[in-house]
A and B are shown apart, each in its own frame.
Chain A
Amino acid sequence: MTRFILRRLGFLTLTVLLTSLLVFLVTQWLPGDVCRIILGREAGQGAIETCRLELGLDQPLPIQYLNWLGDFLTGDWGISFSTNLPIYPIVMDRMGNSLMLALVALLISVPLGVALGIIAGLNENKPIDSTINVGSLSVVGLPEFVTGLVLIQVFSFGLRDLGLPYFPANSSIPPDANFLEALPMLILPALTAMLVLLAYIARLTRSGVIEELKQPYVRTADLKGLPRRTVIVKHVLRNALLPTITIIAISTGWLISGLVVIENVFNYPGLGRLMIFAIDRRDLPLLQAVTMVTVLGFALANLGADLLYGLLNPRIRLE
Chain B
Amino acid sequence: MIAPYEENEILASQARQPPSAEHWFGTDNLGRDVFSRVILGSREILVLAGLGTLLAVICGTLFGLLTGYRGGWFDEVAMRTFDSLLALPALLLALLLLGTVGQSKYSVLIVLVIVYTPIVARVVRSVVLAVKPQGFVEAARLGGETQTRILLREIMPSVLPTLSVESALRFSYAIFLVASLGFLGVGVQPPSPNWGLMVKEARTFASLLPWALFFPAAAISIVVIGVNLMADGVKRVIGPEQAD
Taking Cβ atoms with an 8 Å cutoff, the residues of A that contact B are: 14-16, 18-19, 21-23, 26-27, 30-31, 137-138, 140-146, 149-150, 157, 253-254, 256-257, 260-261, 264, 275-276, 278-280, 282, 284, 287, 291, 294-295, 298-299
**CB < 8 Å neighbour of A27 from B96, B206, B213, B220:** B96
Are B84 and A15 closer than 8 Å at their CB atoms?
A: yes
Are A261 and B101 closer than 8 Å at their CB atoms?
A: no
How many whole Å from A134's CB to the nearest CB in chain B? Answer: 8
Are A19 and B84 closer than 8 Å at their CB atoms?
A: yes
Are B213 and A18 closer than 8 Å at their CB atoms?
A: no
Are A287 and B99 closer than 8 Å at their CB atoms?
A: yes
Which 4 A-B residue pairings sit nearest by Cβ, starting from the closest?
A18-B84, A257-B91, A279-B99, A141-B228
How far apart sit A117 and B96, CA to CA, in the bound complex (Å)? 34
Are A137 and B89 closer than 8 Å at their CB atoms?
A: no
| Closest Cβ neighbor of B83 among chain A residues | A15
Are A260 and B92 closer than 8 Å at their CB atoms?
A: yes
Is B152 positioned at the interface, with any CB of A under 8 Å from its CB?
A: no
Interface residues of B in 138-190 (CB under 8 A from A): 172, 176, 179-180, 183-186
Q: Which residues of A contact B203 (CB under 8 A)?
A: 149
Is B41 positioned at the interface, with any CB of A under 8 Å from its CB?
A: no
| Closest Cβ neighbor of A21 among chain B residues | B84
**CB < 8 Å neighbour of B96 from A138, A253, A280, A287:** A287
**Are A140 and B220 CB-contacts (below 8 A) given A18-B84, A26-B100, A253-B89?**
no
Given contacts A23-B96, A137-B229, A142-B225, list 10 more A-B pairs with CB under 8 A. A18-B81, A18-B83, A138-B228, A140-B228, A149-B199, A256-B91, A257-B90, A278-B99, A291-B96, A295-B87
Are B183 and A279 closer than 8 Å at their CB atoms?
A: no
How far apart sit A193 and B199, CA to CA, in the bound complex (Å)? 19
Are B184 and A31 closer than 8 Å at their CB atoms?
A: no
Are A257 and B99 closer than 8 Å at their CB atoms?
A: no
Some 9 contacts from A to B, beta carbons below 8 A apart, are A18-B80, A19-B88, A145-B199, A149-B199, A264-B183, A276-B186, A279-B95, A287-B99, A291-B96
Is B196 positioned at the interface, with any CB of A under 8 Å from its CB?
A: yes
Q: Which residues of A contact B206 (CB under 8 A)?
A: 149
Interface residues of B in 202-244 (CB under 8 A from A): 203, 206-207, 213, 217, 220-221, 224-225, 227-229, 232
Are B217 and A146 closer than 8 Å at their CB atoms?
A: yes
Is B97 positioned at the interface, with any CB of A under 8 Å from its CB?
A: yes
Q: Which residues of B contact A143 (CB under 8 A)?
A: 176, 179-180, 183, 196, 220-221, 224
| Closest Cβ neighbor of A291 among chain B residues | B96
How many whole Å from B78's CB to the nearest CB in chain A? Answer: 12
Are B88 and A294 closer than 8 Å at their CB atoms?
A: yes
Are B101 and A145 closer than 8 Å at their CB atoms?
A: no
Interface residues of B in 89-132 (CB under 8 A from A): 89-92, 95-101
Q: Which residues of B contact A142 (CB under 8 A)?
A: 221, 224-225
Are A141 and B99 closer than 8 Å at their CB atoms?
A: no
Is B85 positioned at the interface, with any CB of A under 8 Å from its CB?
A: yes
Are B88 and A27 closer than 8 Å at their CB atoms?
A: no
How far apart sit A279 and B186, CA to CA, in the bound complex (Å)? 8
Taking Cβ atoms with an 8 Å cutoff, the residues of B that contact A are: 80-81, 83-85, 87-92, 95-101, 172, 176, 179-180, 183-186, 196, 199, 203, 206-207, 213, 217, 220-221, 224-225, 227-229, 232
Are B95 and A149 closer than 8 Å at their CB atoms?
A: no
How many whole Å from B220's CB to the nearest CB in chain A? Answer: 6
Q: Which residues of B contact A276 (CB under 8 A)?
A: 95, 184-186
**Are A137 and B225 CB-contacts (below 8 A) given A21-B84, A143-B179, A145-B180?**
yes
Are B221 and A141 closer than 8 Å at their CB atoms?
A: yes
Are A284 and B213 closer than 8 Å at their CB atoms?
A: no
| Closest Cβ neighbor of A18 among chain B residues | B84
How many whole Å from B76's CB to the nearest CB in chain A? Answer: 11
Among A26, A253, A254, A257, max chain B CB count under 10 A is at A257
How far apart sit A122 and B190, CA to CA, in the bound complex (Å)? 49
Q: Which residues of B contact A140 (CB under 8 A)?
A: 228
Q: Which residues of B contact A145 (CB under 8 A)?
A: 180, 183, 196, 199
How far apart sit A144 and B176, CA to CA, in the bound complex (Å)? 9
Are B87 and A19 closer than 8 Å at their CB atoms?
A: yes
How many whole Å from B99's CB to the nearest CB in chain A? Answer: 4
Are A138 and B180 closer than 8 Å at their CB atoms?
A: no
How many whole Å from A122's CB to the nearest CB in chain B? Answer: 20
Among B83, B97, B99, B220, max chain A CB count under 10 A is at B99
Q: Which residues of B contact A149 (CB under 8 A)?
A: 199, 203, 206, 213, 217
How far apart sit A141 and B196, CA to CA, in the bound complex (Å)? 14
How far apart sit A294 and B87, CA to CA, in the bound complex (Å)? 10
How far apart sit A273 and B174, CA to CA, in the bound complex (Å)? 22
**Are A261 and B100 CB-contacts (below 8 A) given A15-B87, A19-B87?**
no
Q: Which residues of A contact B229 (CB under 8 A)?
A: 137, 141
How far apart sit A141 and B222, CA to CA, in the bound complex (Å)? 9
How far apart sit A261 and B85, CA to CA, in the bound complex (Å)? 20
Q: Which residues of A contact B83 (CB under 8 A)?
A: 15, 18
